[in-house]
Amino acid sequence: MNLRHATLHQLRIFLAVARHNSFARAAEELHLSPPTLSLQVKQLSETVGQPLFEQLGKKIFLTATGQTLADACADIESRMERLSQDLAALQGVEKGSLKLAILTTVKYTVPKLLGGFCAAHPGIDVAMVVCNRENLLLRLASNQDDLYIMGQPSENMDVVCEDFADNPLVLVAPPSHPLVGRQRLSPKRLKDEPFVLREPGSGTRLTTEKFFAGQGVRLKTRLEVGSNEAIKQTVAGGLGLAVLSATTVVSELALGELVLLDVVGFPLIRRWHVVYPRGKRLSPAALAFKDWLFEHRPRPGPSR
C-alpha cells in the first residue's frame, strides 16, 4: 500500500460518498457521472488495498478501513480549507471564496444583500445553496459551507448563532374569506379554520403550532406543502389560511391576491440568524460578508 499514489481528487470523491452513503448523491454533488465516480473510488480502494465500502441490500456502509480513511479525509479537507483561508488572507479580503447556505424563506432577502456585497467585492468567488431546514441543518452538521443563514438552529448543535434581522410571520387568507376586515380576532376563532402548513420540521410551522397550542387551539390541517410559493397559490385558491414570513408575501398583498387577517398575537416575531460551527475560523471573505450583513440588514418597519 502506497497512499502517495492517491490523489486529492480521489479523496474528495471518497469523502462525498462517505458523507452521503450514496454514490448517486455524491456524483450529483460533484457534477460527475456515476461510472466516473465509481472508478475513482475503486482505484482508491485498490491503492489502500482493502475495501472501503460494503453493500447490504441497496445501502452502502463504510468498512472499518473506510471509516478510518474518511476521518483522515475530513482532516485533510479541513486543513486545505484553512490553507485556502490563509492564502486569501495574505491577498486581502478582495480575493478568496465564500460559500453560503440559506433557508428557502431567506431567498427573498439575502440574495439582494449578497448582490450588493458582490458588487463591492468583485474579486470574491461566491457560491450559494438554497435549501429547506432539514437539508440546511445537515449541511451545517457536516460543515459544508462558510456561513448558514436561517431561523433558530437546533439547540443541541454547538454553533455560533448571531441574529441580524426580524422575520415577522403573518397570517394570510384569500380576499373572499369571511374573516377579512374583522378587527382583533381571537386565535380561538380560528380553531375550525383549515390551514395550509409547511412540512413537519419547518421553522415557520413549529413557531405557528407553538403559538396556537399556547392559545389552546389545535390547528386543523388541510394540506402540507413543501414550498412557500405553493402555499401562497393554495391559499389564494381558497383552500385555507396560512402563516408565512412577511417577506414572502409582499407582492401578493400588494396585488390583492392575499389579505392579512387581524389576529391577536400577530405578527409572530422570529429572527434571522447567521450561523457557523463553533471553533470554525472564518475566512476574510466570510468575515467581510458577515459584517456586510449586519451593516445592510433590513430595518424593522411597521408591523402592519
Of 171, 300, 174, 178, nearest to 244 by C-alpha is: 171
Q: Is 90 exceeded by the pLDDT of residue 246?
A: yes
Compute the average pLDDT of residues 216-233: 91
Percentage of the chain exceeding pLDDT 70: 94
Q: Which residues pair with 161 in a beta bridge?
A: 275
Class of 3-78 per CATH?
A: mainly alpha
CATH match for 80-165+271-295 among 3.20.20.70, 3.40.50.620, 3.40.190.10, 3.40.50.1470: 3.40.190.10
Q: Is 90 exceeded by the pLDDT of residue 236?
A: yes
pLDDT, tens digit, for every residue of 137-177? Answer: 999 999 999 999 998 888 889 999 999 888 999 999 999 99
**170 in Cβ contact with 267 (< 8 Å):** yes
CATH fold for the domain made of 167-270: D-Maltodextrin-Binding Protein; domain 2 (3.40.190)
Q: Is 90 exceeded by the pLDDT of residue 244?
A: yes
Q: Is 70 exceeded by the pLDDT of residue 194?
A: yes
One fold for 80-165+271-295 and 167-270: yes
Compute the average pLDDT of residues 59-78: 92
- Can you spell out the DSSP letters for the chain? --GGG--HHHHHHHHHHHHHT-HHHHHHHHT--HHHHHHHHHHHHHHHTS-SEEEETTEEEE-HHHHHHHHHHHHHHHHHHHHHHHHHHHH-TTSSEEEEEEEGGGGGTHHHHHHHHHHH-TTSEEEEEEE-HHHHHHHHHTT-SSEEEESPPPTTS-EEEEEEEEEEEEEEE-TT-TTTT-SSB-GGGGTTSEEEEPPTT-HHHHHHHHHHHHTT---EEEEE-S-HHHHHHHHHTTS-BEEEEGGGSHHHHHHTSSEE--BTTPSEEEEEEEEEETT----HHHHHHHHHHHHSPPPP----
- As a whole number of angstroms, the distance between CA 223 and CA 239 comes to 9
Q: Is 50 exceeded by the pLDDT of residue 302?
A: no
Query: For residue 83, what pLDDT band results from cuts at 50, 70 and 90?
Result: confident
Domains of the chain, by residue range, sit at 3-78, 80-165+271-295, 167-270
pLDDT, tens digit, for every residue of 9-34? Answer: 999 999 999 999 999 999 998 999 99
Instruction: Output the CA–CA distances (angstroms, integers) from residue 88 to 125, 127, 281, 283, 285, in the order listed.
Output: 11, 16, 13, 8, 8
Q: Among the listed ranges 204-218, 264-278, 285-299, which one has the minimum average pLDDT value?
A: 285-299
pLDDT at residue 303, as a whole number:
42
pLDDT at residue 155, as a whole number:
82
